[in-house]
Structure 1
Amino acid sequence: MSKAPSTNATRILKQAGLAYTEHLYRYEDKGGTAVSARELGVPEHAVIKTLVMEDEKGAPLIILMHGDREVSTKELARQIGARSVQPCKPEVANRHSGYLVGGTSPLGLKKAMPVHAEATIFELDRIYLNGGSRGFLVGLEPKDLERVLSLRRVHVALT
């Protein structure tokens, strides 16, 4: 497989001096975290998806969620003080993040926006999240992610 790309996300991790691993896999359109977990041989629960959402005013936000869980948008809205929250259309998400959907990382976003993370992510020893390119994940300790991101922990996972 080819060499891992240099992305805004990996530059931020390097600048912060954090230890992380690079994982390339064959990207499948609409394959999601099930494909990346299978390709990397890790539990889908440890693969963290970066979802770009917006509130009722169209203000963008990020929510980080376990790959095998869905987000309760109603609960997320309640916890962040919004009337409603919904996923952005892919083209809008691309514009906000500066990444293509399927390659969105919470690190190195084009536009500053609030980042919220499912609190149970921080119970894991290691997580895998998008490194800023389709077919490319980075593995790191959740506490290290919290060191480089100003994020808010929330409890919004549907089981």
Structure 2
Amino acid sequence: MAEAVGGRAAFQVLVLPYRQTETGLLYALFRRSDGAYWQGVAGGGEAEEAPLQAARREATEEAGLVGEFEFVELDARATIPVVHVTAEFTWGPDVLVIPEFAFGVQADNSELNLSCEHTEYRWFAIDAAMKAVQWDSNRTALWELDHRLRRRGPLQPS
């Protein structure tokens, strides 16, 4: 992985808040203020952060999830063209794509609070969430998270 430049690490994280309701699992998606599309919480790592640390920070900054929450590290990975992330070749001319690491976070009893990066959020059932998201990486991570959560059985409140 490329070294951090200007405090920015060469990776992205995707965080998918979820909750268990009487009618089933729901997933929070956020409408981007700069593109009007739906996605999970997404952001870049900072200089010395590991992906899980970045996921915790981004969940706090973009969704207002403060405190101890259970994060589920997913196997889903994607690579993103660096110019789609920073609009330039931030880590030099040879770093063309950066990895995206995906996580779920249980947010059953939490009120989400938006950052300026989003105009709204909604809770979606899995089928609606899969249709709503803009990016294939979000669909893959949603599918994996939903499958893992259903396989492990009823969720405990966070």
Shared fold, TM over 0.5:
no
- TM-score, reference length from structure 2: 0.28
Q: Which has the higher strand share?
A: 2
* Normalised TM-score (structure 1): 0.28
Q: Which has the larger radius of gyration?
A: 2
